[in-house]
Amino acid sequence: MSISQNLHHIKSTLPEHVTLVAVSKTKPLEALQEAYDAGQRIFGENKIQEMTQKWGVLPKDIEWHMIGNLQRNKVKYMAEYVSLVHGVDSFKLLKEINKQAKKHSRVINCLLQIKIAQEETKAGMTIDKVKEILHSEEFLSLENIKITGLMGMASFTENLKQVNNEFNYLSSSFNELKHIKTSNCELETTSMGMSGDYELAINCGSTMVRVGSSIFGVRNYNSNELEN
């Protein structure tokens, strides 16, 4: 099927409350334009340079989501336009996003990454660390970011019971934290689930799924980089 057909098929299976992020990393402009022409407006990238190049030439009503591991010294290159940062896994990174957003008089939405996978290579904070951050005075002083939800990466395994347990852990973490509401924190989004497991993730409470290969086809990726 074509990209547009893939998109329509996937969207037909998603509940209304679930947001689809089309993971377009490594894909050419023509592929993104076809998805755009089919109605997709939210795209996820994991390399800032590539995302910035695409932002420069594609329609300006696209929402760009940073979904990869993010180095603090790279934040400045996307602060002008990024809509949502998915993988905020430290307070230092959050402060840098706030600093760079302030330079552009913007508020950048962020998702805090919870470590839900058993794999050591997966990033993320403990729920206790997240609580510590959200209750700190320093966090409340950050006026140019807003925490809008949580995200998590499940283990790369065929053991669906394990993946189900990890997704449920993120959902329970969200429920434990959602009562925290401040000027810069209101949890609405649970981002989990990719091409191979997004239906399971939705059953476990996901409200945002990151789907790439099921839309654009398979891509070449490094051994330490998971397919979305």
One-letter identity of residue 179: H
Bridging pattern class, strands 208-211 and 19-23:
parallel
Give the contacts of 222 (CB within 8 A, at least 6 positions apart): none
Contact (CB, 8 A) for 140 and 182: yes
Mind listing the domains of the chain with CATH numbers?
Answer: 3-210 (3.20.20.10)
Q: Which of 80, 83, 47 is nearest to 62 (CA)?
A: 83
pLDDT for residue 118: 81
* Dist. CA 141–CA 45, nearest whole Å: 29
pLDDT digits (tens, 9 = 90+) for 11-60: 999 999 999 999 999 999 999 999 999 999 999 999 999 999 999 999 99
Distance of CA 63 to the CA centre of its chain: 12
pLDDT for residue 220: 54
pLDDT digits (tens, 9 = 90+) for 37-47: 999 999 999 99
pLDDT digits (tens, 9 = 90+) for 186-228: 999 999 999 999 999 999 999 999 999 999 988 654 433 444 5
Cα dist from 177 to 133, 174, 182, 190, 202, whole Å = 12, 5, 12, 12, 19
pTM above 0.95, yes or no: no
Beta bridge partners, 85, equal: 66, 110
